[in-house]
Every structure is written in C-alpha cells, then in structure tokens.
Amino acid sequence: MTVHAGTDAGGLAVTTFGPVGPRPAVLAVHGITANGMSFGAVAAHLPGRRLVAPDLRGRGRSNRLPGPYGLRRHAADLAALLDRDGGGARTVIGHSMGAFVTVLLAASRPDLVDRLVLVDGGFPLPLPAGVTDAAQVDTAALLGPAAERLAMEFADADEYLAYWRVHPAFVRDWSPAVEAYARYDLDGEAPHLRAAAVAAAMLEDGAELYGPDWYVDALQALRMPVTVLRAPRGLTDGDPLYAPGALESSRSLVPQLEVIEVDDVNHYTILFADRGSSAVAAAVEAP
C-alpha cells in the first residue's frame, strides 16, 4: 500500500493512502484526539482507492494551526481541502468526532459528498448521568485516558508505544496499524515527547457533540445515503458511546439512514482491528 504524508496548500497535514485512480478520493476524518493515520487499516482493505486523511486543525501535524476550533471550522477546512483536490462529490468517512465534522461538511457542501459513512459517531451523544446541560459536561473526564495522555510526557517512542500496548482498547488487538498511528502521533523532542493533539481543541470540539440546534438542523438537511456503524464497546473497551438500538431512533432525523452493528469491536478497534476495518471498507464500497 502506497502511503504519502504531506501538507495541503491550506496548511492541513494530509496522509494519502493508495493510488491515484479515475474516481475521486475518499475523504477520511479522524476522531477528537487522533490523526489521519487512524485509517491505515481501512485503507489496506481498499487497495484500489485513493484515501485522503487530513490531520484536523489542532491535531497531528496540523497542531500548529491556530484556533478557534469547533466542528464548523473543521468542516470549512475540509471543504477547502476538497475544492483543492478537484471538487466533485465523493464518499466521506468520519470516525467519532470526525463523523460530526463530516455531517456538517455534507450539509453545507452537498456538492462534495455523495455518501456518508459514519463510524461510531455523528449523532448527538447522550448527556452523562446527572447532567442536564451540555455546558456542564466535563469533556476531559468523559474521554478519560484519551484526554489524560495529552498532559503526559514520554522519554522516547518506545515509552509511548508501551502506553498504547496496555490500553484496554488494544490489549488483544495490537497491530502494525496501531503502531504506525502511535508513532505518527508523537510531537516534540526526546525526552519530552507528547501526544500531538492540542487540549484546547479537544475541549472546544467536545462541547459541541451533544446536539445543539444547528447540528440537528444539519442532520435533517442530509439527502445523500448515510451509513452508521456502531461499536458495541467504548473508548476503554467498556460501555459503548451509543446504547444498543439507540441509533435506530435517529431515522427520525435521517430517514435514509442505514445502521450496521459491528461485532466484537470497541470505539478504536472498529477502525484498527481487521474485523472492524473490513466492515468500514465494505460500507465504503457498498453499491
């Protein structure tokens, strides 16, 4: 598989997988503290397709781009990226927070999106128990280890890989794709290496995942086919982001929605483990 890392004219770092072909590239958009290398395992199941996976503003090698952040800012960045990639409607994949960004992209620029594949994300998250207002949500606490690692330092790449190897999501699913993702995620100089995501970006974006009116309006504006794949386990291999059956009710917002249940994966391994990445790739290639 051909992999190329570079920087778009608009300043976003972009990882491109696969060969140039006659069809527009698939756009792949990562989660809240992740980067474009999240899609290596999915790309391996799409060997004939070019897959363009940017690092969102404040993440990966786009982490020097200034705020403000927010889902709408990311959607605007992606629209500009696709315009520079030749425009045209294409399949767009979004994982976790990236799925929310792709919904806004599709609603604001339907000329750029002919199919949405949302991976364990894209529909308003339920408020945590005891919380009645999204403004009260502690995003860092909700994300747990995903947020905690942003404040940690690592002496070298091996130390960072060791952190990920014992992460509950990857204990039984370590792979070359996970290692490549983790190595790419490091920023700084040894012995003061850190995860690349900017904490302020995580907090600003995370506050918008609970269904503000403008986001619900965007969901209702979607007219292209929309597929959502649900993981039965969550970020730390425990409770899922979406309870069983919860996404079925989202057809009241998106009548054309197709819901796919992916067996035996968590919020990470739905992208990284073969049983998850193959299901995502199959949804991309579905007629």
Interval 84-139: pLDDT, tens:
999 999 999 999 999 999 999 999 999 999 999 999 999 999 888 788 777 778 88
CA dist list (Å): 208 to 108, 155, 253, 271: 17, 34, 18, 23
Q: How far apart are CA 132 and CA 159, in angstroms?
A: 40
Beta bridge partners of residue 90, listed in sequence order: 113
CA 203 to chain centre: 15
Residue type, 148: E
Per-residue burial over 198-235, b = 16 or more CB atoms within 10 Å of its CB, e = otherwise: beebbbbbbebbbbeeebeebbeebebbbbbbbbbbbb
Segments of the chain assigned E as strands: 3-7, 13-17, 26-29, 51-54, 90-95, 113-119, 186-189, 192-195, 226-230, 257-261
**245: CB partners within 8 A, 6+ apart:** none
Res 276: pLDDT: 98
3-state SS assignment for residue 154: strand
Q: From 3.40.30.10, 3.40.50.1820, 3.40.1260.10, 3.40.50.2300, which CATH number describes the 3-126+198-285 domain?
A: 3.40.50.1820
Q: What is the mean pLDDT of the chain?
A: 94
Q: What is the pLDDT of residues 209-267, one digit of tens each?
A: 999 999 999 999 999 999 999 999 999 999 999 999 999 999 999 999 999 999 999 99
Q: Is 13 helix (H, G, I), strand (E, B) or coil?
A: strand
Residue 198 has pLDDT above 90, yes or no: yes
Domain boundaries, given as residue ranges, for the chain: 3-126+198-285
Q: Which residues contact 275 (CB under 8 A, 6 or more apart)?
A: 262, 263, 264, 265, 269
DSSP string, 61-93: GGTTS-S---HHHHHHHHHHHHHHTT---EEEE
- Strand 226-230 to strand 113-119: parallel, antiparallel, or no bridges (unpaired)? parallel
How would residue 1 be classed by pLDDT, with cut points 50, 70 and 90?
Answer: low
Q: Is the pLDDT at 39 greater than 80, yes or no?
A: yes
Structure tokens that stand for 252 in this block: 């009241």
pTM for this model (two decimals):
0.96
Report the alpha-carbon distance of residue 32 to residue 249 in Å, rounded: 24
